[in-house]
Protein backbone atom coordinates (compact mmCIF):
# COMPACT_ATOMS: atom_id res chain seq x y z
CA UNK A 1 0.00 0.00 0.00
CA UNK A 2 1.36 3.40 -0.98
CA UNK A 3 0.44 5.80 1.81
CA UNK A 4 1.27 8.86 -0.27
CA UNK A 5 -1.30 7.92 -2.91
CA UNK A 6 -4.17 8.40 -0.48
CA UNK A 7 -5.69 11.86 -0.18
CA UNK A 8 -8.91 13.11 1.33
CA UNK A 9 -11.66 14.40 -0.89
CA UNK A 10 -11.86 18.17 -0.47
CA UNK A 11 -15.49 19.26 -0.68
CA UNK A 12 -14.72 22.34 1.40
CA UNK A 13 -13.61 25.50 -0.34
CA UNK A 14 -10.98 26.28 2.34
CA UNK A 15 -7.75 24.29 2.30
CA UNK A 16 -4.78 23.94 4.62
CA UNK A 17 -1.30 23.77 3.12
CA UNK A 18 0.97 21.02 4.45
CA UNK A 19 4.77 20.99 4.45
CA UNK A 20 7.71 18.94 5.66
CA UNK A 21 9.00 20.87 8.72
CA UNK A 22 12.56 19.70 8.09
CA UNK A 23 12.82 20.78 4.45
CA UNK A 24 9.78 23.09 4.07
CA UNK A 25 8.85 21.01 1.00
CA UNK A 26 5.16 21.18 0.12
CA UNK A 27 3.13 18.09 1.01
CA UNK A 28 -0.02 19.31 -0.71
CA UNK A 29 -3.14 20.45 1.10
CA UNK A 30 -6.18 19.14 2.96
CA UNK A 31 -9.63 20.64 3.33
CA UNK A 32 -10.80 22.64 6.33
CA UNK A 33 -14.04 20.77 6.95
CA UNK A 34 -17.19 22.66 7.82
CA UNK A 35 -19.61 22.02 10.67
CA UNK A 36 -22.04 20.49 8.19
CA UNK A 37 -19.39 18.04 7.00
CA UNK A 38 -18.51 17.16 10.59
CA UNK A 39 -22.12 16.39 11.46
CA UNK A 40 -22.47 14.28 8.34
CA UNK A 41 -19.42 12.19 9.32
CA UNK A 42 -20.81 11.68 12.83
CA UNK A 43 -24.21 10.69 11.41
CA UNK A 44 -22.60 8.13 9.11
CA UNK A 45 -20.53 6.79 11.98
CA UNK A 46 -23.62 6.41 14.15
CA UNK A 47 -25.43 4.43 11.45
CA UNK A 48 -22.44 2.10 11.00
CA UNK A 49 -22.02 1.65 14.76
CA UNK A 50 -25.42 0.01 15.26
CA UNK A 51 -24.28 -3.09 13.36
CA UNK A 52 -20.74 -2.98 14.76
CA UNK A 53 -22.06 -2.96 18.36
CA UNK A 54 -23.67 -6.34 17.68
CA UNK A 55 -20.41 -7.97 16.54
CA UNK A 56 -18.58 -10.42 18.78
CA UNK A 57 -15.21 -9.76 20.34
CA UNK A 58 -13.83 -12.46 18.04
CA UNK A 59 -14.93 -10.45 15.00
CA UNK A 60 -13.38 -7.29 16.41
CA UNK A 61 -10.13 -9.12 17.11
CA UNK A 62 -10.02 -10.18 13.45
CA UNK A 63 -10.04 -6.54 12.38
CA UNK A 64 -7.37 -5.54 14.90
CA UNK A 65 -5.17 -8.46 13.89
CA UNK A 66 -5.40 -7.41 10.24
CA UNK A 67 -4.38 -3.87 11.22
CA UNK A 68 -1.45 -5.19 13.28
CA UNK A 69 -0.29 -7.45 10.46
CA UNK A 70 -0.30 -4.49 8.05
CA UNK A 71 1.68 -2.29 10.45
CA UNK A 72 4.35 -4.95 10.98
CA UNK A 73 4.68 -5.48 7.23
CA UNK A 74 4.84 -1.74 6.36
CA UNK A 75 6.85 -0.21 9.20
CA UNK A 76 9.24 1.80 7.04
CA UNK A 77 6.47 3.29 4.92
CA UNK A 78 4.47 4.29 7.99
CA UNK A 79 7.55 5.82 9.63
CA UNK A 80 8.55 7.80 6.53
CA UNK A 81 5.07 9.33 6.35
CA UNK A 82 5.28 10.31 10.03
CA UNK A 83 8.76 11.79 9.50
CA UNK A 84 7.55 13.92 6.59
CA UNK A 85 4.63 15.19 8.64
CA UNK A 86 6.37 15.84 11.95
CA UNK A 87 10.12 16.25 11.36
CA UNK A 88 11.12 13.45 13.74
CA UNK A 89 13.78 10.88 12.86
CA UNK A 90 13.03 7.39 11.57
CA UNK A 91 14.19 5.89 14.88
CA UNK A 92 11.93 8.30 16.78
CA UNK A 93 9.05 7.19 14.56
CA UNK A 94 9.82 3.50 15.09
CA UNK A 95 9.96 3.93 18.87
CA UNK A 96 7.14 6.43 19.29
CA UNK A 97 4.73 5.59 16.47
CA UNK A 98 5.11 1.89 15.63
CA UNK A 99 6.14 0.25 18.88
CA UNK A 100 3.41 1.58 21.21
CA UNK A 101 0.64 1.08 18.64
CA UNK A 102 1.67 -2.54 18.05
CA UNK A 103 1.82 -3.17 21.78
CA UNK A 104 -1.57 -1.54 22.31
CA UNK A 105 -3.16 -3.74 19.64
CA UNK A 106 -1.48 -6.84 21.07
CA UNK A 107 -2.76 -6.01 24.54
CA UNK A 108 -6.33 -5.38 23.39
CA UNK A 109 -6.40 -8.57 21.29
CA UNK A 110 -5.13 -10.63 24.23
CA UNK A 111 -6.91 -8.96 27.15
CA UNK A 112 -9.61 -6.62 25.86
CA UNK A 113 -12.46 -9.11 26.13
CA UNK A 114 -11.59 -9.92 29.75
CA UNK A 115 -11.32 -6.21 30.60
CA UNK A 116 -14.81 -5.57 29.22
CA UNK A 117 -16.45 -8.75 30.55
CA UNK A 118 -19.34 -8.28 33.01
CA UNK A 119 -18.18 -8.24 36.63
CA UNK A 120 -20.09 -9.98 39.39
CA UNK A 121 -20.70 -7.79 42.43
CA UNK A 122 -21.96 -8.66 45.91
CA UNK A 123 -25.66 -8.11 46.36
CA UNK A 124 -25.47 -7.32 50.08
CA UNK A 125 -28.49 -8.25 52.15
CA UNK A 126 -30.42 -8.93 48.92
CA UNK A 127 -28.98 -12.43 48.72
CA UNK A 128 -31.82 -13.59 46.46
CA UNK A 129 -30.58 -11.24 43.70
CA UNK A 130 -27.61 -11.47 41.33
CA UNK A 131 -25.73 -8.22 40.69
CA UNK A 132 -23.19 -7.41 38.03
CA UNK A 133 -21.60 -4.48 36.17
CA UNK A 134 -21.73 -4.43 32.38
CA UNK A 135 -19.74 -2.34 29.90
CA UNK A 136 -21.65 -1.23 26.80
CA UNK A 137 -20.38 0.77 23.81
CA UNK A 138 -21.07 4.49 23.95
CA UNK A 139 -21.88 5.03 20.27
CA UNK A 140 -19.64 7.54 18.47
CA UNK A 141 -16.36 8.55 20.10
CA UNK A 142 -14.91 11.91 19.12
CA UNK A 143 -11.13 12.32 19.15
CA UNK A 144 -9.06 15.49 18.78
CA UNK A 145 -5.45 14.56 18.00
CA UNK A 146 -2.27 16.62 18.57
CA UNK A 147 0.46 17.05 15.99
CA UNK A 148 3.49 15.39 17.58
CA UNK A 149 2.84 11.71 16.69
CA UNK A 150 0.70 11.62 13.52
CA UNK A 151 0.30 7.83 13.35
CA UNK A 152 0.17 6.99 17.02
CA UNK A 153 -2.27 9.78 17.89
CA UNK A 154 -4.85 8.34 15.49
CA UNK A 155 -4.45 4.67 16.39
CA UNK A 156 -4.06 5.10 20.14
CA UNK A 157 -7.75 6.06 20.66
CA UNK A 158 -9.15 4.17 17.63
CA UNK A 159 -8.00 0.73 18.84
CA UNK A 160 -9.78 0.65 22.24
CA UNK A 161 -12.81 2.60 21.03
CA UNK A 162 -13.34 0.27 18.07
CA UNK A 163 -12.82 -2.86 20.16
CA UNK A 164 -15.37 -1.61 22.71
CA UNK A 165 -17.98 -1.46 19.93
CA UNK A 166 -17.89 2.21 18.99
CA UNK A 167 -17.49 4.25 15.85
CA UNK A 168 -14.71 6.87 15.88
CA UNK A 169 -14.52 10.31 14.29
CA UNK A 170 -11.06 11.82 14.79
CA UNK A 171 -9.94 15.35 13.99
CA UNK A 172 -6.20 15.47 13.20
CA UNK A 173 -4.00 18.50 13.70
CA UNK A 174 -3.78 21.05 10.93
CA UNK A 175 0.03 20.87 11.36
CA UNK A 176 0.34 17.16 10.53
CA UNK A 177 -2.55 16.13 8.29
CA UNK A 178 -0.84 14.96 5.12
CA UNK A 179 -0.29 11.39 6.34
CA UNK A 180 -3.78 10.91 7.82
CA UNK A 181 -5.55 9.63 4.70
CA UNK A 182 -2.98 6.89 4.16
CA UNK A 183 -3.12 5.87 7.81
CA UNK A 184 -6.91 5.79 7.70
CA UNK A 185 -6.80 3.47 4.71
CA UNK A 186 -5.00 0.87 6.87
CA UNK A 187 -8.07 0.71 9.10
CA UNK A 188 -10.54 0.85 6.22
CA UNK A 189 -8.77 -1.98 4.40
CA UNK A 190 -9.11 -4.21 7.48
CA UNK A 191 -12.78 -3.30 7.94
CA UNK A 192 -13.61 -3.99 4.28
CA UNK A 193 -11.83 -7.34 4.40
CA UNK A 194 -14.32 -8.60 6.98
CA UNK A 195 -17.39 -6.93 5.57
CA UNK A 196 -17.73 -3.97 7.93
CA UNK A 197 -18.53 -0.38 7.02
CA UNK A 198 -15.59 1.99 6.63
CA UNK A 199 -17.78 4.70 8.19
CA UNK A 200 -16.85 3.18 11.54
CA UNK A 201 -13.61 5.18 11.53
CA UNK A 202 -13.41 8.60 9.89
CA UNK A 203 -10.91 11.44 9.87
CA UNK A 204 -11.61 15.17 9.97
CA UNK A 205 -9.16 17.83 8.83
CA UNK A 206 -9.39 21.49 9.66
CA UNK A 207 -8.62 24.23 12.16
CA UNK A 208 -9.91 24.76 15.68
CA UNK A 209 -13.48 25.40 14.53
CA UNK A 210 -13.60 21.89 12.99
CA UNK A 211 -12.62 20.43 16.35
CA UNK A 212 -15.24 22.58 18.11
CA UNK A 213 -17.84 21.34 15.63
CA UNK A 214 -16.89 17.76 16.50
CA UNK A 215 -17.38 18.46 20.21
CA UNK A 216 -20.81 19.96 19.45
CA UNK A 217 -21.80 17.24 16.98
CA UNK A 218 -23.53 14.89 19.40
CA UNK A 219 -20.70 12.42 19.93
CA UNK A 220 -21.02 10.48 23.18
CA UNK A 221 -17.59 11.39 24.52
CA UNK A 222 -14.48 13.32 23.47
CA UNK A 223 -10.85 12.28 23.91
CA UNK A 224 -8.66 15.38 23.67
CA UNK A 225 -4.88 15.56 23.72
CA UNK A 226 -3.26 18.98 23.61
CA UNK A 227 -2.48 22.08 25.63
CA UNK A 228 -4.26 23.06 28.87
CA UNK A 229 -5.54 26.21 27.17
CA UNK A 230 -7.22 24.25 24.39
CA UNK A 231 -8.36 21.66 26.91
CA UNK A 232 -10.31 24.38 28.71
CA UNK A 233 -11.94 25.36 25.42
CA UNK A 234 -12.92 21.75 24.77
CA UNK A 235 -14.40 21.46 28.27
CA UNK A 236 -16.34 24.68 27.88
CA UNK A 237 -17.77 23.60 24.54
CA UNK A 238 -18.53 20.09 25.79
CA UNK A 239 -20.36 21.51 28.80
CA UNK A 240 -22.99 23.00 26.48
CA UNK A 241 -24.30 19.48 25.76
CA UNK A 242 -22.93 17.77 28.90
CA UNK A 243 -20.61 15.68 26.72
CA UNK A 244 -18.02 13.91 28.89
CA UNK A 245 -14.35 14.45 28.06
CA UNK A 246 -11.04 12.75 28.73
CA UNK A 247 -8.25 15.32 28.73
CA UNK A 248 -4.55 14.57 28.31
CA UNK A 249 -3.00 18.02 28.59
CA UNK A 250 0.70 17.37 28.54
CA UNK A 251 3.32 17.25 31.21
CA UNK A 252 6.55 18.56 32.60
CA UNK A 253 7.94 15.32 33.86
CA UNK A 254 10.50 15.28 36.63
CA UNK A 255 13.50 12.94 36.56
CA UNK A 256 15.30 12.48 39.88
CA UNK A 257 18.89 11.21 39.75
CA UNK A 258 20.16 10.19 43.17
CA UNK A 259 23.76 10.14 44.34
CA UNK A 260 23.81 6.31 44.19
CA UNK A 261 22.37 6.07 40.66
CA UNK A 262 24.05 4.20 37.83
CA UNK A 263 25.19 7.37 36.05
CA UNK A 264 25.84 5.69 32.70
CA UNK A 265 22.26 4.40 32.65
CA UNK A 266 20.82 7.69 33.95
CA UNK A 267 22.59 9.64 31.20
CA UNK A 268 21.26 7.31 28.51
CA UNK A 269 17.71 7.62 29.83
CA UNK A 270 17.93 11.39 30.27
CA UNK A 271 19.03 11.79 26.64
CA UNK A 272 16.16 9.55 25.55
CA UNK A 273 13.66 11.46 27.68
CA UNK A 274 14.75 14.89 26.47
CA UNK A 275 15.65 14.53 22.79
CA UNK A 276 13.33 11.82 21.42
CA UNK A 277 11.04 13.41 18.81
CA UNK A 278 12.99 16.65 19.33
CA UNK A 279 11.49 16.85 22.83
CA UNK A 280 7.94 17.03 21.49
CA UNK A 281 6.45 14.47 23.88
CA UNK A 282 3.89 14.86 26.64
CA UNK A 283 6.02 12.55 28.80
CA UNK A 284 9.30 14.28 27.94
CA UNK A 285 11.79 14.59 30.78
CA UNK A 286 11.55 18.37 31.05
CA UNK A 287 13.06 18.77 34.54
CA UNK A 288 16.09 16.76 35.69
CA UNK A 289 16.93 17.01 39.40
CA UNK A 290 20.46 15.75 40.07
CA UNK A 291 21.91 15.24 43.54
CA UNK A 292 24.84 17.50 44.31
CA UNK A 293 27.31 14.61 44.70
CA UNK A 294 26.89 13.49 41.08
CA UNK A 295 25.75 16.75 39.47
CA UNK A 296 29.06 17.77 37.90
CA UNK A 297 29.74 14.28 36.54
CA UNK A 298 26.22 14.01 35.09
CA UNK A 299 26.49 17.41 33.41
CA UNK A 300 29.93 16.59 32.00
CA UNK A 301 28.69 13.35 30.46
CA UNK A 302 25.50 14.70 28.91
CA UNK A 303 27.42 17.69 27.52
CA UNK A 304 29.95 15.37 25.91
CA UNK A 305 27.19 13.26 24.36
CA UNK A 306 25.06 16.15 23.09
CA UNK A 307 28.07 17.86 21.50
CA UNK A 308 28.32 14.85 19.19
CA UNK A 309 24.66 14.93 18.14
CA UNK A 310 23.87 15.24 14.44
CA UNK A 311 20.88 17.30 13.36
CA UNK A 312 19.28 17.82 9.98
CA UNK A 313 16.51 16.65 7.61
CA UNK A 314 15.88 13.06 8.76
CA UNK A 315 15.02 11.64 5.32
CA UNK A 316 18.16 13.07 3.70
CA UNK A 317 20.82 11.74 6.06
CA UNK A 318 21.36 9.86 9.31
CA UNK A 319 20.72 12.24 12.22
CA UNK A 320 20.14 12.01 15.96
CA UNK A 321 17.70 14.90 16.32
CA UNK A 322 15.13 16.09 13.81
CA UNK A 323 13.01 19.19 13.36
CA UNK A 324 10.20 20.90 15.26
CA UNK A 325 6.72 20.31 13.86
CA UNK A 326 5.01 23.62 14.66
CA UNK A 327 6.65 27.02 14.06
CA UNK A 328 5.04 28.60 17.13
CA UNK A 329 6.60 25.95 19.35
CA UNK A 330 10.06 27.13 18.30
CA UNK A 331 9.19 30.60 19.57
CA UNK A 332 7.93 29.15 22.88
CA UNK A 333 11.13 27.15 23.41
CA UNK A 334 13.40 30.11 22.66
CA UNK A 335 11.33 32.42 24.89
CA UNK A 336 11.69 30.01 27.81
CA UNK A 337 15.44 29.62 27.24
CA UNK A 338 15.84 33.41 27.11
CA UNK A 339 13.92 33.83 30.36
CA UNK A 340 16.10 31.22 32.08
CA UNK A 341 19.30 32.89 30.83
CA UNK A 342 18.09 36.29 32.04
CA UNK A 343 17.55 34.81 35.52
CA UNK A 344 20.97 33.18 35.80
CA UNK A 345 20.87 29.86 33.95
CA UNK A 346 23.78 28.91 31.71
CA UNK A 347 23.45 27.48 28.20
CA UNK A 348 26.14 24.82 27.85
CA UNK A 349 25.23 24.09 24.24
CA UNK A 350 22.54 25.08 21.76
CA UNK A 351 19.84 27.51 22.80
CA UNK A 352 19.04 28.84 19.33
CA UNK A 353 17.78 27.91 15.88
CA UNK A 354 20.13 25.76 13.83
CA UNK A 355 21.50 28.23 11.24
CA UNK A 356 22.63 25.51 8.81
CA UNK A 357 19.12 24.63 7.64
CA UNK A 358 16.08 26.49 6.39
CA UNK A 359 13.72 24.08 8.16
CA UNK A 360 12.23 24.29 11.63
CA UNK A 361 15.26 23.30 13.71
CA UNK A 362 16.19 24.17 17.28
CA UNK A 363 19.64 23.03 18.31
CA UNK A 364 19.86 20.34 21.01
CA UNK A 365 20.26 22.42 24.16
CA UNK A 366 21.48 21.94 27.74
CA UNK A 367 20.54 24.45 30.46
CA UNK A 368 22.30 24.26 33.84
CA UNK A 369 22.17 26.32 37.04
CA UNK A 370 18.39 26.31 36.67
CA UNK A 371 16.13 27.18 39.61
CA UNK A 372 12.40 27.49 40.17
CA UNK A 373 12.24 31.23 39.60
CA UNK A 374 12.50 30.40 35.89
CA UNK A 375 9.45 29.83 33.70
CA UNK A 376 11.03 26.77 32.11
CA UNK A 377 10.50 24.82 35.35
CA UNK A 378 6.76 25.57 35.31
CA UNK A 379 5.67 25.82 31.67
CA UNK A 380 5.73 22.98 29.15
CA UNK A 381 8.48 23.76 26.63
CA UNK A 382 8.01 20.75 24.31
CA UNK A 383 11.41 21.08 22.68
CA UNK A 384 14.97 19.69 22.65
CA UNK A 385 16.12 21.38 25.88
CA UNK A 386 17.63 19.53 28.83
CA UNK A 387 16.86 21.44 32.03
CA UNK A 388 19.21 20.43 34.87
CA UNK A 389 18.61 21.45 38.50
CA UNK A 390 21.07 20.77 41.33
CA UNK A 391 19.50 19.42 44.56
CA UNK A 392 20.95 18.59 47.99
CA UNK A 393 18.97 15.50 48.93
CA UNK A 394 15.74 13.52 48.63
CA UNK A 395 13.67 16.09 50.46
CA UNK A 396 14.65 18.92 48.13
CA UNK A 397 14.29 16.73 45.04
CA UNK A 398 10.75 15.71 45.96
CA UNK A 399 9.77 19.25 46.97
CA UNK A 400 10.95 20.75 43.69
CA UNK A 401 9.62 17.89 41.56
CA UNK A 402 6.17 18.54 43.05
CA UNK A 403 6.51 22.31 42.69
CA UNK A 404 4.85 22.36 39.28
CA UNK A 405 1.23 22.53 38.09
CA UNK A 406 1.70 19.50 35.81
CA UNK A 407 1.70 15.90 36.99
CA UNK A 408 1.87 13.37 34.16
CA UNK A 409 4.94 11.12 34.39
CA UNK A 410 8.13 10.98 36.44
CA UNK A 411 11.18 8.80 37.01
CA UNK A 412 13.70 8.06 39.75
CA UNK A 413 17.21 6.65 39.38
CA UNK A 414 18.85 4.90 42.37
CA UNK A 415 20.50 1.56 43.12
CA UNK A 416 18.47 1.28 46.35
CA UNK A 417 15.05 -0.27 45.66
CA UNK A 418 13.61 0.92 48.99
CA UNK A 419 14.80 4.45 48.35
CA UNK A 420 13.40 4.39 44.82
CA UNK A 421 10.00 3.29 46.07
CA UNK A 422 10.08 5.89 48.85
CA UNK A 423 10.77 8.76 46.46
CA UNK A 424 8.33 7.46 43.86
CA UNK A 425 5.53 7.32 46.43
CA UNK A 426 6.00 11.01 47.18
CA UNK A 427 5.93 12.27 43.58
CA UNK A 428 2.60 13.79 42.55
CA UNK A 429 2.18 12.30 39.10
CA UNK A 430 0.00 9.85 37.24
CA UNK A 431 2.99 7.57 36.61
CA UNK A 432 6.42 6.93 38.09
CA UNK A 433 9.09 4.60 36.70
CA UNK A 434 12.10 3.64 38.81
CA UNK A 435 15.39 3.23 36.94
CA UNK A 436 13.97 3.74 33.47
CA UNK A 437 12.34 6.43 31.40
CA UNK A 438 8.82 6.29 29.93
CA UNK A 439 8.16 2.56 30.24
CA UNK A 440 4.81 3.03 32.01
CA UNK A 441 3.26 3.81 28.63
CA UNK A 442 4.65 0.67 27.05
CA UNK A 443 3.04 -1.51 29.72
CA UNK A 444 -0.41 -1.36 28.20
CA UNK A 445 -2.13 -2.94 31.20
CA UNK A 446 -1.39 0.29 33.11
CA UNK A 447 -3.63 3.35 32.89
CA UNK A 448 -2.06 6.44 31.31
CA UNK A 449 -2.94 9.93 32.50
CA UNK A 450 -2.04 12.66 34.92
CA UNK A 451 -3.15 14.97 37.70
CA UNK A 452 -3.33 18.73 38.02
CA UNK A 453 -2.74 20.64 34.82
CA UNK A 454 -1.96 17.40 33.01
CA UNK A 455 -5.68 16.64 32.80
CA UNK A 456 -7.96 13.85 33.94
CA UNK A 457 -9.34 10.53 32.79
CA UNK A 458 -7.24 7.61 31.68
CA UNK A 459 -6.29 5.81 28.48
CA UNK A 460 -4.62 2.38 28.18
CA UNK A 461 -5.35 -0.72 30.21
CA UNK A 462 -8.80 -1.70 31.35
CA UNK A 463 -9.40 1.88 32.47
CA UNK A 464 -8.88 3.11 28.91
CA UNK A 465 -11.11 0.43 27.41
CA UNK A 466 -13.85 1.13 29.94
CA UNK A 467 -13.60 4.85 29.23
CA UNK A 468 -15.00 3.92 25.80
CA UNK A 469 -18.10 2.41 27.43
CA UNK A 470 -20.97 3.38 29.62
CA UNK A 471 -21.18 1.43 32.84
CA UNK A 472 -24.45 -0.35 33.55
CA UNK A 473 -25.59 -1.98 36.79
CA UNK A 474 -27.62 -5.14 36.15
CA UNK A 475 -29.74 -6.96 38.77
CA UNK A 476 -31.73 -10.16 38.29
CA UNK A 477 -33.26 -12.95 40.38
CA UNK A 478 -31.07 -15.57 41.93
CA UNK A 479 -34.10 -17.01 43.72
CA UNK A 480 -37.52 -15.71 42.56
CA UNK A 481 -39.40 -14.30 45.57
CA UNK A 482 -42.80 -13.63 44.05
CA UNK A 483 -44.31 -10.26 44.86
CA UNK A 484 -41.29 -8.74 46.55
CA UNK A 485 -41.64 -5.70 48.81
CA UNK A 486 -45.06 -4.06 49.00
CA UNK A 487 -45.49 -0.74 50.79
CA UNK A 488 -48.83 0.67 49.70
CA UNK A 489 -51.24 1.33 51.19
CA UNK A 490 -49.17 2.61 54.11
CA UNK A 491 -50.35 1.27 57.50
CA UNK A 492 -49.64 2.64 61.00
CA UNK A 493 -47.12 -0.20 61.55
CA UNK A 494 -45.28 0.22 58.20
CA UNK A 495 -42.63 2.61 59.55
CA UNK A 496 -42.04 0.37 62.57
CA UNK A 497 -41.55 -2.62 60.26
CA UNK A 498 -38.91 -0.74 58.21
CA UNK A 499 -37.21 0.47 61.39
CA UNK A 500 -37.05 -3.05 62.80
CA UNK A 501 -35.65 -4.48 59.54
CA UNK A 502 -32.85 -1.87 59.65
CA UNK A 503 -32.16 -2.93 63.25
CA UNK A 504 -31.97 -6.60 62.21
CA UNK A 505 -29.51 -5.94 59.36
CA UNK A 506 -27.32 -3.22 60.86
CA UNK A 507 -27.73 -3.37 64.63
CA UNK A 508 -24.71 -4.21 66.81
CA UNK A 509 -24.95 -7.27 69.04
CA UNK A 510 -27.14 -10.33 69.05
CA UNK A 511 -29.61 -8.90 71.55
CA UNK A 512 -30.30 -5.82 69.43
CA UNK A 513 -30.93 -7.96 66.38
CA UNK A 514 -33.20 -10.41 68.24
CA UNK A 515 -35.32 -7.53 69.52
CA UNK A 516 -35.53 -6.31 65.92
CA UNK A 517 -36.74 -9.71 64.76
CA UNK A 518 -39.47 -9.83 67.42
CA UNK A 519 -40.59 -6.28 66.64
CA UNK A 520 -40.57 -6.88 62.89
CA UNK A 521 -42.68 -10.03 63.30
CA UNK A 522 -45.24 -8.14 65.35
CA UNK A 523 -45.42 -5.31 62.82
CA UNK A 524 -45.68 -7.76 59.91
CA UNK A 525 -48.58 -9.61 61.57
CA UNK A 526 -50.40 -6.37 62.24
CA UNK A 527 -50.03 -5.23 58.61
CA UNK A 528 -51.13 -8.65 57.32
CA UNK A 529 -54.29 -8.56 59.48
CA UNK A 530 -55.09 -5.05 58.29
CA UNK A 531 -54.79 -6.12 54.68
CA UNK A 532 -57.09 -9.11 55.26
CA UNK A 533 -59.70 -6.86 56.81
CA UNK A 534 -59.53 -4.55 53.78
Contacts of 528 (CB under 8 A, 6+ apart): none
Q: Which of 258, 278, 282, 404 is catalytic?
A: 282
- The whole-angstrom separation of Cα 316 and Cα 396 is 45
For residue 166, the 8-state DSSP code is -
- Please answer whether residues 379 and 409 qualify as being in contact, where contact means their C-beta atoms are separated by less than 8 angstroms: no
Residues 6+ apart with CB under 8 A from 484: none
Q: Which of 197, 141, 186 is nearest to 167 (CA)?
A: 141
Say whether 156 is catalytic. no
Number of other CB atoms surrounding residue 94 within 10 Å = 16
Q: Which of 248, 286, 363, 493 is catalytic?
A: 248
**Rounded Cα gap, residues 37 and 278, in angstroms:** 35
User: Cα 467 to the chain's mean position, in Å?
Assistant: 11
Under a CB-based contact definition with an 8 Å cutoff, are residues 246 and 458 in contact?
Answer: yes
Dihedrals phi, psi of 30, to nearest 5 degrees: -130, 160
Determine contact, residues 190/203, Cβ cutoff 8 Å: no
CA–CA gap between residue 143 and residue 359 (Å, rounded): 30
- CA-atom Rg of the chain in angstroms: 28
Cβ within 8 Å of residue 308, ≥6 positions away = none
Question: Which positions ≥6 away from 58 have C-beta within 8 Å?
Answer: none
Give the dihedral of Cα atoms 209, 214, 217, 222; nearest 10 deg: -140
Count of residues for the chain?
Answer: 534
* Distance between CA atoms of residues 377 and 402, nearest Å: 11
CA nearest to 24, candidates 360, 383, 362: 360
Beta-carbon contacts of residue 228 (< 8 Å; ≥ 6 apart): 249, 250, 453, 455
Which of 111, 47, 102 lies closest to 69, judged by CA?
102
The three-point CA angle 379-380-385 to 5° equals: 110
Residue 282 annotated to the active site = yes
Question: What is the SS3 assignment for 346-413?
Answer: EEEECCCECCCCCCCCECCEEEECCCCCCHHHCCCCCCCEEEEEEECCHHHHHHHHCCCCEECCEEEE
β-pairing, 245-248 vs 406-407, is unpaired
- Angle at Cα 72 formed by Cα 71 and Cα 73, nearest 5°? 90
User: Collapsing DSSP states into helix, strand and coil, what is residue 238?
Assistant: helix
Q: Cis bond leading into 311, ω under 30°?
A: no
Residues classed as catalytic: 248, 282
Amino acid sequence: MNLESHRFDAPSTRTISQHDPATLESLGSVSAMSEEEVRDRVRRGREAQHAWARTSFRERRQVLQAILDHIVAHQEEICRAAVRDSGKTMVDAALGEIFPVCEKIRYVIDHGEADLAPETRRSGFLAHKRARVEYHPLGVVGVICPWNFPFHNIFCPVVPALFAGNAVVAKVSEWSSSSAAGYLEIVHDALRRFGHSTDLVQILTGYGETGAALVRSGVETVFFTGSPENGRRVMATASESLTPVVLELGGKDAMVICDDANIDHAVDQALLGVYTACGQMCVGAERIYVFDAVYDEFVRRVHERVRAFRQGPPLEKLVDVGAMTMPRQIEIVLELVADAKAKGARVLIGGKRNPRYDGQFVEPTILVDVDHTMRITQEEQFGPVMVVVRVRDEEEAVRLANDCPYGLGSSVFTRDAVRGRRIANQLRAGMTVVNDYGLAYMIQSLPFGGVGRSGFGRINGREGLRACCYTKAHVEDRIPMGRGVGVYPVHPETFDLVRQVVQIIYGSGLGTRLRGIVGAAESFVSIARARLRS
